[in-house]
Amino acid sequence: MPITSRGSLIAYGALAAADVLGAAGSPRGLTRAAKPLLMPALAGYVRRRGGSGPLLTGIACAAAGDTALLFDRREPAFLGGMAAFLGTQLSYTAGMVGRLGAVRGLRRRPARAAVPLAAWAAANAALAPALEPRLRLPVAGYSLALTAMGAAAFGVGGRVAAGAAAFLASDLLIGLQAAGHELPPQPAQEALIMAGYALGQYLIASGWLEHIPS
């Protein structure tokens, strides 16, 4: 029996729940089993709803990043995962600008771009001194690309903007971890990171699909 878009979405929800439970430490094996399948499930939902191009490319890059970060937390894996997610941010930004009318939205409400840019500046000013010196430039570059995606998403509005906000919050918590801050303490922080990431990706994708002509 062919898998429907609803079936893919149910699978995504189940995998996301397993990831959050695994991140909370109950048990860790759930995350190892579920996380590599999370973005492919979302990609299946998107494809069955007619999505293509930058949205699917961004999801594919996120799948690569998830896998890189899952099995190894040393610096090379961290940088490799960050590079994969850089592809996600660039793909999403390009699609929002080229297909979803982000620039028109920001021209009408330019103040929306100021929110993520101010958050980027404040976060980097606060966290950079606590990072390893060799990580400061890559983190600043990635976070700037993430912020550009957030600004574009705020220009689109709706679910896309809400998803970008959740994604930004999730990555801010990762930045706190990289700087040695556990706020809130683990495993709650890990669970919040995973919940924000899964919710953000779903909202971006489902909001994007609303802009595809039926």
On whether the pTM is more than 0.75, the answer is: yes
- The mean per-residue pLDDT over the stretch 53-81 comes to 87
Q: Closest by alpha carbon to 82, among 33, 137, 43?
A: 137
Residue 214 lies in a domain: no
Q: Closest by alpha carbon to 60, among 206, 214, 172, 205?
A: 205
Residue 89 lies in a domain: yes
Residue 13 lies in a domain: yes
- The owner of tokens 């994708």 is 205
Q: If phi over 0 gives left and psi between -120 and 50 gives alpha, with beta otherwise, what is residue 180?
A: left
Residue 174 lies in a domain: yes
135-172 tens-digit pLDDT: 888 888 898 999 999 999 999 999 999 999 999 999 88
pLDDT at 173: 86
Q: Which domain holds residue 80?
A: 5-209
pLDDT band with cut points at 50, 70 and 90 for residue 30: low
- Distance CA(146)–CA(62), nearest Å, equals 13
N-terminal to C-terminal alpha carbon distance within the chain? 24
Residue 194 lies in a domain: yes
Of 17-26, 101-110, 127-136, 175-184, the poorest mean pLDDT is in 175-184
Q: Is residue 201 within 8 Å of residue 168, measured between CB atoms? A: no
Of 36-40, 118-122, 143-147, the poorest mean pLDDT is in 118-122
Residue 34 lies in a domain: yes
Q: How many structural domains is the chain composed of?
A: 1
